[in-house]
Amino acid sequence: MNKFSIAMLFLGLGLVITLPAPSSAQTQACNGLTFSSNQVFSSCNDLPRLSSYLYWNYHATNQTADIAFRKTPTSTSNWVAWALNPSGQRMAGSQALVAYQQSNGTMIAYTAPVSASPTMQPGSLSFGVSNLRAEYSNGEMIIFATLQLDNTLLSTNQVWQEGPLSGGSPSIHPTSGDNMQSVGTVDFATGTVTSTGGGISSRARRRNVHGLLNGVGWGVLMPIGAITARYLKVFKAADPAWYYLHISCQVIAYALGVAGWGTGLKLGSDSPGIKYSKHRNIGIALFSMATLQVCALLAKPKPDNKYRIYWKFYHHSIGYAIIVLSIVNIFEGFDVLNGQNNWKKAYIGIIIALGAIALILETFTWLIVVRREKSETTNKHLNGTNGVNGYATTAHA
């Protein structure tokens, strides 16, 4: 095989690696949610703390906003609240909507002006509120309301909160961590939300980092590493280069994968109410299998060892199983994201490209092997190579 063909192969692989990544820096997890009431909201934002989301439709003609505040995860032993506070980014002065489940199982939602001594007694707010109701299902609490805004309230501060119930009524929320930082601004007309910390929610950011690390590590580099091993091996000129390429690919993939796995565990432990057990279990299985694969390198028999063939069988089975499971789990991950279709589309594109490259290389390899075998038969096995599907007898095969 000549150098030109090998260069073309690398070019092909390079093309796959540089496929355009999704450019949405501010992916919002709130997009694409269908509410039980079939209500559709044109604006939504991931609030930066307490894994909460705000959805709304703003009607400029009468300055009203239909809103939904969604807290996930939560439980029926908690109350949730969302408020506008034109007086500042703090609790005191908040014009709050409060909801919780009563002991007989019905949800209650009411308005409460919150003073410096937070009792959350029902009372009317400084602006009109109608259609107020709340629902609880699947560990999520949602408050729906229509707000009568005015010019001062169009772009103002918002505060949201969660706390425990005690004796069937709201008691004080935790006074540390995220519960003290759940403030920001909201602009109903332009649809922008900020937090005092600025930028998008740290949780959404960590989720994106988790997805990117795992997608690139498990979902792209590992298949490329397998393609390298399977198809470059057949070219005598690429020996032992293919081996080092394969190893480098898988080492980087493993490093990214383990980092991504770690961020996943952290995300999981930070949201105790939510359990994506399938995604999590496949992730744990993947990590174990990949680690086994790395350890097995140490136990790799020498090329002339009679157990070498079993080791290779093991190595290939686990390797392909990892790739299949990785792809399955990446799609499980997309499901968790609730319809962030840009990432999903981009990844489907990458998978199709990788599959097409593998298919072309597979055909190509067989042509070469068949042709080589023919010429080797006529040459009476002069160079003694047994090239069936690329499993040449090299030191690294």
Report CA torsion sign: 279, 283, 286, 292: negative
- Minimum CB distance to ligand NAG smaller for 2 or for 106: 106
- Contacting residue, 51, 52, 64, 263, with ligand NAG by CB under 6 A: 64
CB of 292 to ligand NAG, least distance (A): 55
- Minimum CB distance to ligand NAG smaller for 37 or for 375: 37
CB of 106 to ligand NAG, least distance (A): 4
Q: Is 42 in the site for ligand NAG (CB under 6 A)?
A: no
What is the Cα–Cα distance from 236 to 244, expressed in whole angstroms? 14
- Minimum CB distance to ligand NAG smaller for 26 or for 121: 121
Q: Is 101 in the site for ligand NAG (CB under 6 A)?
A: no
Q: How many positions of this chain bind ligand NAG (CB under 6 A)?
A: 7
Residue list, annotated binding site for heme b = 210, 246, 279, 315
For tokens 């999704």, what's the residue? Answer: 22
Region of 28-36, 54-62, 314-322, 364-372 interacting with ligand NAG (CB under 6 A): 54-62
- Contacting residue, 2, 18, 23, 62, with ligand NAG by CB under 6 A: 62
Instruction: List the one residue out of 140, 120, 143 whose CA is nearest residue 75.
Output: 140
Region of 58-66, 73-81, 214-222, 312-320 interacting with ligand NAG (CB under 6 A): 58-66
277-298 vs 241-270: helix axis angle to the nearest 10?
150
Region of 7-15, 100-108, 203-211, 292-300 interacting with ligand NAG (CB under 6 A): 100-108
- Minimum CB distance to ligand NAG smaller for 62 or for 117: 62
Residues in 104-143 at the binding interface with ligand NAG, rule: CB under 6 A = 104, 106
* Distances 246 to 71, 250, 254 between C-alpha atoms, Å: 45, 6, 12
Q: What are the counts of helices (DSSP H) followed by strands (DSSP E) for the chain?
A: 8, 12
Q: Is 167 in the site for ligand NAG (CB under 6 A)?
A: no
Largest CA distance in the chain: 97
Residues 268-287 as x/- pattern, contact with ligand NAG by CB under 6 A: --------------------
CB of 61 to ligand NAG, least distance (A): 5
Region of 32-40, 102-110, 182-190, 211-219 interacting with ligand NAG (CB under 6 A): 102-110
Interface residues toward ligand NAG, by CB under 6 A = 59, 61-62, 64, 102, 104, 106
